[in-house]
Amino acid sequence: MNTTILLFLIQDGITNGAIYALLGLALVLVFAVTRVILIPQGEFVTYGALTYATLSAGQTPGTAQLAVAMGIVAFGIDLFLARKSLHAMRVFRAFAVDIVFPCAILGLTLFAAGRHNTIAINTALSLLIVAAIGLFLYRIAFQPIAHTSVLVLLIASVGCHLAMQGFGLVFFGAEGLRGPAISNAALTIGPLSFSGQSLAVYGITIAFIVCLWLFFGYTLYGKALRATAVNRLGARLVGIRTSLSGQLAFLLASVIGALSGILIVPITTLYYDTGFMIGLKGFIVAIIGGLVSYPITAFAAFGVGIVEAFSSFYASNFKEVIVFTLIIPVLVLRSLAAPEVEEEQD
């Protein structure tokens, strides 16, 4: 192997690692706040990517209609649960979030489809659509069972993954799609050449992580999310609703997933079921971080990205096997280091 290939593989690994870092962070966040292991994270990636690609091709993505349909279901659930103390204010708020918000997005999408939009508009619209889906997914599937065990939540999570993958096939078909690159610029430094897209991946990942850090460290809602993750009962006792924290966590996770999808769809062709594999790698990264540590998760992401790049060069048939095998020594080490824990009691 010469230096050029080595550098190229490392660069490729870092690009992938940046995406896994984002996904891993989202998984850690959602687990810490809601105890849900978010298997549908991969679907957020697919939906984001394919919605963006469809919009760029001048068509209306089915995900916009899905958001409206899920909003209507969520509104029904809100009304049903609040039936004993139905204030006008409460109904109005539910109506605004569950009906007006997704309908406005659908309206914008129908308006934008078929026109030549800038990449920024398509990106923003895709993020909005997937954000709404993420929010309603929590409202419909997880909020009613938020108090149950991790296992029940995991089963619901697998169910959501399967359902969303099926919808993905309906909306986008079995053919793969690609989207336009955010930037076509290219930069060469010595033996290294960077495409504009990979620079965009680095830049946006770093900017997003900084934004998340500011959000969690300096805003009241960010601190409230952290508080829920640290001590659920403590958070409720100061008046932070766990449902609010859960919705915020899912909103962030879906935006992170969709953004990752939009970043990679110009680099590789995505199919309706590709997201699952990408999400699983984010999951590996999150497991290495023990589902609690953000910094370890971010570092593990780059490790996994680089291992993946090298294994696809040396043994491309075993690429996935090698990456997923990484989890075994980590689990062994963790089980040796941590004392035995009984099934949680809460």
Q: Which residues bind other proteins (CB under 8 A)?
A: 84-85, 220, 223-224, 226-227, 230-231, 233-241
238 Cβ partners below 8 Å, 6+ apart?
227
In the complex, the smallest distance separating the C-beta of residue 121 from other proteins, rounded to whole angstroms, is: 35
CB 263 within 8 A of CB 201: yes
CB 31 within 8 A of CB 38: yes
In the complex, the smallest distance separating the C-beta of residue 299 from other proteins, rounded to whole angstroms, is: 19
Q: Among residues 4 and 219, whose Cβ is nearest to other proteins?
A: 219
294 Cβ partners below 8 Å, 6+ apart?
25, 28
Q: Among residues 107 and 234, whose Cβ is nearest to other proteins?
A: 234
Q: Among residues 161 and 226, whose Cβ is nearest to other proteins?
A: 226
Q: Among residues 59 and 219, whose Cβ is nearest to other proteins?
A: 219
36 Cβ partners below 8 Å, 6+ apart?
30, 142, 153, 154, 156, 157
CB 53 within 8 A of CB 61: no
In the complex, the smallest distance separating the C-beta of residue 88 from other proteins, rounded to whole angstroms, is: 17
Q: Among residues 239 and 295, whose Cβ is nearest to other proteins?
A: 239
284 Cβ partners below 8 Å, 6+ apart?
20, 300, 304, 323, 324, 326, 327
In the complex, the smallest distance separating the C-beta of residue 228 from other proteins, rounded to whole angstroms, is: 9
CA neighbours closer than 13 Å in the CB half-sphere of residue 170: 10
Q: How far apart, in whole angstroms, are the C-alpha atoms of residue 106 and residue 103?
A: 5
Q: Among residues 227 and 327, whose Cβ is nearest to other proteins?
A: 227
In the complex, the smallest distance separating the C-beta of residue 107 from other proteins, rounded to whole angstroms, is: 34
In the complex, the smallest distance separating the C-beta of residue 345 from other proteins, rounded to whole angstroms, is: 13
